[in-house]
């Protein structure tokens, strides 16, 4: 990613879901609203850019990296993320690759669900970018299990690293969200 980083120092990584259109640089800066209406090169663009939450640190082991992108009708950015509402689609595309400037990591999506924007609705999903205690992790994972659309059979627990992908979804509520949560693939683990 060195050559790309030289173009924009807000780059923190690259996200790919193989065999899908999700294949983008991920940026992070103090003013994350900037990338809601600008692309990677700083040009105005309605698609915006894929953004890592400002509370996340991609360079040290983090419990959960929260990455968001617009749901574009064209399918750009995270416009196709809602395809994961189909278990058949998940079975064919369950791996997420997130390369940072320091490491290459693979994750397996273990849950997808619809939610509300927490800022607007106190019953919305709490993304919890930095959970440090087992009790908090257990409650967070239980909330995910209670809301997941289907059971993937992927086991998860405290100590795992997670990546949460989120996009707007107005199919169920005015300011709704669609969320896909993935666990880092463990050393020696084979995902089929």
CA distance 156 to 178: 20
Tens digits of pLDDT across the chain (192 residues): 889 999 999 999 999 999 999 999 999 999 989 999 999 999 999 999 999 999 898 888 678 999 999 999 898 999 999 999 999 999 999 999 999 988 999 999 999 999 876 555 456 676 776 677 888 889 889 989 999 999 999 999 988 999 999 999 877 666 789 999 999 999 999 998
Burial of 1 (0-12, 13-18, 19+ CB in 10 A): middle
In 3D space, the residue among 101, 74, 64, 97 whose CA is nearest the CA of residue 179 turns out to be 64
φ/ψ of residue 103, rounded to 5: -155, 160
Q: Which two tokens stand for residue 108?
A: 């397996």
């Amino acid at each position: 990613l060195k050559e790309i980083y030289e173009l924009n120092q807000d780059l923190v990584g690259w996200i790919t879901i193989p065999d899908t259109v999700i294949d983008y640089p991920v940026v992070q800066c103090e003013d994350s609203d900037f990338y809601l209406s600008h692309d990677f090169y700083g040009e105005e663009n309605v698609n915006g850019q894929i953004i890592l939450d400002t509370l996340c640190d991609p360079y040290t082991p983090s419990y959960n990296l929260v990455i968001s992108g617009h749901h574009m009708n064209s399918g750009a950015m995270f416009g196709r993320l809602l395809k994961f509402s189909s278990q058949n689609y998940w079975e064919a595309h369950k791996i997420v690759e997130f390369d940072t400037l320091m490491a290459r990591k693979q994750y397996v999506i273990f849950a997808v669900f619809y939610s509300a924007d927490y800022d607007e609705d106190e019953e919305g999903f709490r993304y919890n970018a930095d959970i440090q205690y087992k009790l908090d992790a257990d409650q967070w994972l239980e909330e995910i299990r209670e809301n997941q659309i289907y059971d993937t059979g992927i086991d998860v627990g405290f100590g795992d690293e997670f990546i949460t992908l989120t996009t707007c979804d107005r199919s169920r509520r005015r300011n709704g969200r669609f969320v896909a949560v993935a666990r880092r693939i463990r050393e020696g683990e084979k995902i089929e």
